[in-house]
């Protein structure tokens, strides 16, 4: 970062916390209030990332006090948890990685599964992210490709990276559950949608494999040397498919890990550019308020908009807009 700043001769001010962005009275400029004074600017780009505050359902406050609760943001290792079974809510990358780690550490794991995209770690000798790049997934305008707009890829880099298969999680001793709907009398209420979620994950896997094979054949790639990606996974036990509630005390659950995502917190941006959910209203980062821009939000333009490896494309777009203005 220091080398990059020196290369472009950026006048950085490090360690300065911004507490507000507001309109300058009687001017079309913006004021940026910090703990070390106020700056005045014609243009302000808010680039604070998309992961601000943990998103935890309100009914979590009704979970019995003896159950330890933590969000994935604050999870570090199994040593943080008391002995006993663990309920993990959310089957994205974080949820699956934490579930695998805790299962290996000897905890009984219950994993609440939502919609996800089953993804190979490697295929035909290439990492899955190489495939996402050459197939255009990272840079496709999401407004033209709604089928990937809410993609939740499940990958891990543990032990050099390997495939994650939720059905194999069940075969390894985890208990898979449907989505958590609420809490009543100490019991978590579960949706009867586990098989549906798993089937959607399998369907995505199949369609991705077809696209990878088509690309490989078109570009003369050699056949894979590694073992074929296994599409056949063990069937779920019948009891797992039929669970519609989980008695926390009866199942021995002493910890709940919320892998349920994040919400935006832009309370410090004191301008009317948000919807009722607190999400910025913009078109590829450009708001209706002259001079105010957002960069690095989830799905700003493409799947890579919130990633360090892809945000540069959106940054260039904003730079051109600001220069033209």
Q: Are 97 and 165 in contact (CB under 8 A)?
A: no
Domain 2-51+264-324 class, CATH top level: alpha beta
What pLDDT is stored for residue 250 in this prediction? 92
> 19 in helix, strand or coil?
strand
**pLDDT tens, 226-237?**
555 455 556 666
Which H helix or E strand runs over 247?
strand 245-247
Strands 253-258 and 68-71: parallel
* Token pair of 178 as six digits: 């449907």
Helix (H, G, I), strand (E, B) or coil at 176: strand
* pLDDT given for residue 46 in this prediction: 98
pLDDT at 161: 87
SS3 for 317? helix
Tell me the pairing of strands 30-34 and 253-258.
Answer: unpaired
Whether the pTM exceeds 0.75: the reply is: yes
- Alpha-carbon distance values, 203 to 45, 195, 198 (Å): 39, 12, 9
- In the chain (325 residues long), the average pLDDT of successive 10-residue segments reads 89 92 95 96 95 94 94 97 97 94 97 91 91 88 76 85 90 94 92 92 91 94 62 57 85 96 95 95 96 93 87 95 94
pLDDT on residue 223: 75
Residue 237: the pLDDT is: 60
Residues 190, 177: Cα–Cα separation, whole Å: 7
3.50.50.60, 1.10.1740.10, 3.90.320.10, 3.55.40.10: which CATH number matches 54-261? 3.50.50.60
The confidence score (pLDDT) of residue 82 equals 97
- The answer to whether 258 and 91 are in contact (CB under 8 A) is no
Cβ-contact 72, 94 below 8 angstroms: yes
Please state, in angstroms and rounded to a whole number, the distance separating the CA atoms of residues 227 and 249. 43
Is the four-CA dihedral 70, 194, 232, 149 of positive or negative sign?
A: negative
Q: What is the pLDDT of residues 53-83, one digit of tens each?
A: 999 999 999 999 999 999 999 999 999 999 9
Long-range contact pairs involving 26-34 (C-beta distance under 8 Å, separation at least 24):
28/290, 28/291, 29/291, 30/291, 30/292
Contact partners, residue 103, CB within 8 Å, separation at least 6: 109, 169, 172, 173, 174
Residue ranges of the chain that CATH labels 3.50.50.60? 2-51+264-324, 54-261
3-state secondary structure of 20: strand
């Amino acid at each position: 970062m220091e080398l990059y700043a020196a290369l472009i001769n950026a006048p950085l001010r490090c360690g300065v916390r911004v507490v507000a962005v507001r309109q300058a009275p009687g001017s079309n400029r913006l004021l940026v209030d910090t703990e070390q004074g106020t700056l005045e600017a014609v243009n302000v780009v808010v680039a604070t990332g998309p992961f601000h505050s943990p998103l935890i359902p309100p009914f979590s406050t009704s979970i019995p006090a003896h159950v330890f609760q933590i969000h994935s943001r604050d999870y570090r290792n199994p040593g943080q948890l008391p002995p006993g079974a663990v309920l993990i809510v959310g089957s994205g990358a974080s949820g699956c990685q934490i579930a695998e780690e805790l299962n290996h550490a000897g905890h009984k794991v219950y994993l609440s599964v939502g919609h996800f995209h089953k993804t190979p770690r490697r295929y035909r000798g290439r990492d899955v992210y190489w495939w996402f790049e050459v197939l255009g997934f990272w840079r496709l305008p999401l407004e033209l490709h709604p089928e990937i707009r809410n993609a939740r890829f499940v990958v891990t880099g543990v032990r050099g990276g390997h495939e994650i298969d939720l059905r194999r999680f069940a075969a390894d001793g985890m208990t898979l559950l449907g989505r958590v709907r609420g809490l009543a009398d100490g019991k978590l209420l579960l949706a009867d949608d586990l098989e549906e979620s798993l089937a959607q994950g399998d369907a995505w896997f199949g369609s991705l494999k077809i696209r990878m094979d088509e690309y490989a054949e078109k570009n003369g790639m050699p056949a894979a040397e590694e073992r074929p990606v296994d599409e056949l996974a063990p069937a779920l036990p019948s009891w797992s498919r039929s669970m519609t509630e989980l008695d926390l005390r009866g199942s021995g659950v002493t910890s709940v890990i919320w892998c349920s995502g994040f919400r935006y917190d832009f309370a410090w941006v004191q301008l009317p550019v948000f919807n009722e959910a607190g999400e910025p209203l913009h078109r590829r980062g450009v708001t209706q308020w002259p001079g105010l821009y957002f960069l690095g939000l989830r799905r700003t333009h493409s799947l890579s908009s919130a990633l360090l490896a892809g945000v540069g494309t959106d940054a260039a777009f904003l730079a051109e807009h600001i220069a033209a203005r």
